[in-house]
Amino acid sequence: MAPQWHLGPVTVEVHGLFVALAVFAAVLVFSHEARRRGAVNEQSIVAVAGALIGGAIGMRLSGWAQHLDLSANPSLAQAWEFGSRSILGGLLGAYIGVHVAKRLGGYRGKTGDLFAPAVALGMAIGRIGCLLTEAPGRPTNLPWGIHAPASTPECPACLTGQAMHPSFVYEIVFQLVAFAVLLSLRNRITHPGELFVIYIAAYAVFRFFVEFFRANETVWLDLTRPQWFLLPTLLIIGFRLCYGYRHGYYRRAARSEEVPV
């Protein structure tokens, strides 16, 4: 059973609560950015709806294709009911959801720059729920190692009382720093969509390396499933950043020049 908080007669599922708070915060930041950029319209609302629906589907179904042997994977119905709630699956689902919603609505403008700071703040809040309910990370002797209750699901180190890497704290700090950096860059990165590209690139690199401290199972060559998912992603993003650099998309950011929005 998922960890719960009991607030008087009300029972609240902890992870779900922080996911809801994360979505609420992300919508507030997105709305603020849309107003600031003069992009509040029906198309931006459709894009948000697509992101929410696609993200929810991606998170729930992300545990479906876990094994190369398809017969060893759960059915789609089982994946939906007992899904792993993967953040990477949610991001991929949200990305697809936005594009589908924009295509259906006939909108060709780019909305990624509106989503970038919103996603970063939402991720920071959502990871608090992960920290409170999931295995923190791999065992460590470092002084900042933390302990988790023995009742934490799928956490052998919790049963033995070992200190573990606070991997979710690492990510919370990363996301808060990313949020601040994205806010500082939003008037200097003016080419549409590039702020989102920068965020995705930074998060992909960070997530690949933080996986070495996460409690996720390794599947091949001591790499986890998220790392295998991220390897081709990093290659694609690397080419995309080179393309943007060659076309001068980041020149103003390097010179700290602000352009009014």
Q: Domain coordinates of the chain in residue numbers?
A: 11-67+74-247
Residue 191, pLDDT > 70, answer: yes
Give the pLDDT band of residue 70 (cuts 50, 70, 90).
very low
pLDDT at residue 79, rounded to an integer? 45
pLDDT at residue 242, rounded to an integer? 93
Residue 256, pLDDT > 60, answer: no
CA distance 9 to 238: 51
- pLDDT tens profile 22-68: 888 888 888 888 888 776 666 667 777 777 777 777 766 655 555 44
pLDDT at residue 14, rounded to an integer? 83
